[in-house]
């Protein structure tokens, strides 16, 4: 890893946020973790981010903008480039994953999370691997 992971996570479910915060900050001890609880003012929130993330995790079922809309907005931003944007969702039926792939997500991590494997998964994604981790 050339630089330290800078993670952005957008999630409206409070328990999921709490869980991820523990995972990312406590377990993985990442310094740069931004967790947004809704998608309001998404564009201005993104512009305000500093440093810019090198991994973006998006929940899909959100308001006012869902994961697909956020993805589309991110793809418009020049700094995003090839920053991996990964869906973190409980909607993991084949047709739903198919929609994620078609929309242009770089990967998918399913809920419930396998927290033992999670750091490894993140590392692989940061190395450019496309992870479609769909487990029962």
Partner 1 sequence: MKTSTTLIPGFVRRAPLNLKVGVILAATFTLMLVVAYFSIISTFSIFLDKINTDQLNREIVALQQHMHEIEEEVVNAARLLSYAPGLTEAVNARDADALRTTILLQGESLELDTIIVVDSFKDVLLNISGTDVTLSPQETDRILSLALLGTSTSEVITNTESESSIQLVAISSFKDTSGKVIGAVLAGRSIDDSFMDMLNFGRSNPAIALIHNSRLVAQSTIESAGAAVYDASSHQSQIDQAQRGEIWMSSTADSSDRNLDIPTQALAYAPLPIGGQSRSVLAVVNDYQTLYDFQQNLTINNIYIIILVLGSTVTAVILVLSWSVTRPILQLRSISQKIAAGNFQQRVQLRSEDEIGQLAQAFNAMAQEVEHRIAEAQAGRERAETSDKVKSAFLASMSHELRTPLNAVINFTRFVVDGDMGPVNAEQSEMLNESISSAKHLLKLINNILDMSKIESGSLKLFIEDNISMNSILESAVHTGRGLLAGKPVRLHSEIEPDLPLLRGDKQRMLQIVLNILGNACKFTEEGDIHVRARQQDGNILISISDTGPGIAPEDMGSVFEPFQQTKTGLRQGGGTGLGMPIAKNLAEAHGGRLWLESEADKGTTFFITLPVKSAILQPTLA
Window of 35-43, 47-55, 71-79, 86-94 that interacts with partner 1 by CB under 8 A: 86-94
Based on the shown chain and the rule CB under 8 A, indicate whether residue 95 belongs to the binding site for partner 1: yes
Q: Give the nearest distance from C-beta 57 to partner 1 in angstroms.
A: 14
Contact region for partner 1 (CB under 8 A) — 20-28, 41-49, 63-71, 77-85?
Answer: 20-28
Contact pick of 89, 105, 107, 122 for partner 1 (by CB under 8 A): 89
Helices 94-103 and 67-76 sit at what angle, rounded to 10 degrees?
20
55 binds partner 1 (CB under 8 A): no
Residues that bind partner 1 (CB under 8 A): 13, 15-16, 18-19, 22, 26-27, 61, 89-98, 101, 110-113, 115, 134, 136
């Amino acid at each position: 890893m050339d630089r330290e992971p800078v993670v952005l996570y957008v999630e409206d479910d409070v328990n999921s946020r709490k869980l991820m915060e523990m995972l990312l900050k406590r377990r993985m001890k990442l310094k740069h973790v931004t967790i947004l609880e809704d998608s309001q003012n998404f564009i201005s929130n993104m512009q305000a981010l500093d440093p810019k993330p090198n991994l973006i995790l998006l929940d899909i079922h959100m308001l006012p903008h869902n994961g697909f809309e956020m993805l589309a907005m991110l793809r418009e931003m020049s700094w995003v480039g090839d920053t991996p944007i990964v869906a973190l969702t409980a909607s993991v039926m084949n047709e739903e994953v198919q929609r994620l792939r078609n929309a242009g997500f770089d990967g998918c991590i399913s809920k419930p999370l396998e927290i033992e494997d999670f750091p490894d998964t993140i590392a692989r994604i940061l190395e450019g691997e496309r992870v479609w981790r769909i487990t029962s």
